[in-house]
Chains A and B, each alone.
Chain A
Amino acid sequence: GQQLNQSPQSMFIQEGEDVSMNCTSSSIFNTWLWYKQEPGEGPVLLIALYKAGELTSNGRLTAQFGITRKDSFLNISASIPSDVGIYFCAGQLGPGMHSGYALNFGKGTSLLVTP
């Protein structure tokens, strides 16, 4: 599988600030997903994107599927302390091959929010 390039690697921000992170790939994907992992837990799905150019929101979170299908970004507005965690992007190729169901992950963005 392909490792995605996710940046930044870590962010240390104050409560109330907006956050932006992004993910790029040298290959196209048919689905982009964003996960959050809290300490001691497995990743949990935040947002899924299915179409190039798609912009999707989930509360204070907004994500976009890049028009080239090779990138995606996630924005968090007005951050709060419970936003702390590691955020992962993931790309999925699609059906047609069993390996198409496997997710390719970025290395994660570690977010720390101070009150």
Chain B
Amino acid sequence: DVKVTQSSRYLVKRTGEKVFLECVQDMDHENMFWYRQDPGLGLRLIYFSYDVKMKEKGDIPEGYSVSREKKERFSLILESASTNQTSMYLCASSSPQGFGYGYTFGSGTRLTVV
């Protein structure tokens, strides 16, 4: 079964910490995405990557950066965590050849910043 795996289901971090959220996919997909999900706001795109070492800003990139050194792995980095970054973070992947088939999502990481 194809999968997108997020390394942690739950994380609690302190304000000011540097936080790494890891995502790995086993489908050889070119495209990978990071979203955050907040009640009443739906899913908002933070960053996406369409190839190794390539990245593009989404709708809410402020306070975040990303890294894609290998095709299967896409990391989201919170340089200095703040309480307003408490949220559910969802990683997804897709293939250009599978355009229109949407994404495969991971199960999410619920991050709490205290």
Number of interface residues of B (CB under 8 A): 30
CA distance A101 to B54 in the complex (A): 14
CA distance A20 to B113 in the complex (A): 37
**What distance in Å separates the Cβ of A29 from its nearest Cβ neighbour in chain B?**
11
B45 at interface, CB cutoff 8 A: yes
**What distance in Å separates the Cβ of A91 from its nearest Cβ neighbour in chain B?**
11
Cβ-closest chain B residue relative to A4? B42
**What distance in Å separates the Cβ of A100 from its nearest Cβ neighbour in chain B?**
8
A90 at interface, CB cutoff 8 A: yes
Is the CB–CB distance between B42 and A106 below 8 Å? yes
Is the CB–CB distance between B96 and A101 below 8 Å? yes
Residues in B with CB closer than 8 Å to A45 are: 101-104
Given A33-B102, A92-B102, A102-B33: A107 and B56 interface contact (C-beta under 8 Å): no
- Restricting to A91-107, which residues have a CB under 8 Å from any CB of B? 92, 94-95, 98-99, 101-103, 105-107
B59 at interface, CB cutoff 8 A: yes
A48 at interface, CB cutoff 8 A: yes
A78 at interface, CB cutoff 8 A: no
A59 at interface, CB cutoff 8 A: no
Is the CB–CB distance between A98 and B56 below 8 Å? yes
Residues in A with CB closer than 8 Å to B90 are: 42-43
Digit string of B32-62 for contact with A (CB within 8 Å is 1, else 0)?
A: 0101000011111100101000001011000
A3 at interface, CB cutoff 8 A: yes
Is the CB–CB distance between A1 and B106 below 8 Å? no
| Residue positions of B touching A, CB distance < 8 A | 4, 9, 31, 33, 35, 40-45, 48, 50, 56, 58-59, 90, 92, 94, 96, 99-108
| Residue positions of A touching B, CB distance < 8 A | 1, 3, 6, 9, 30-31, 33, 35, 40-45, 48, 50, 88, 90, 92, 94-95, 98-99, 101-103, 105-108
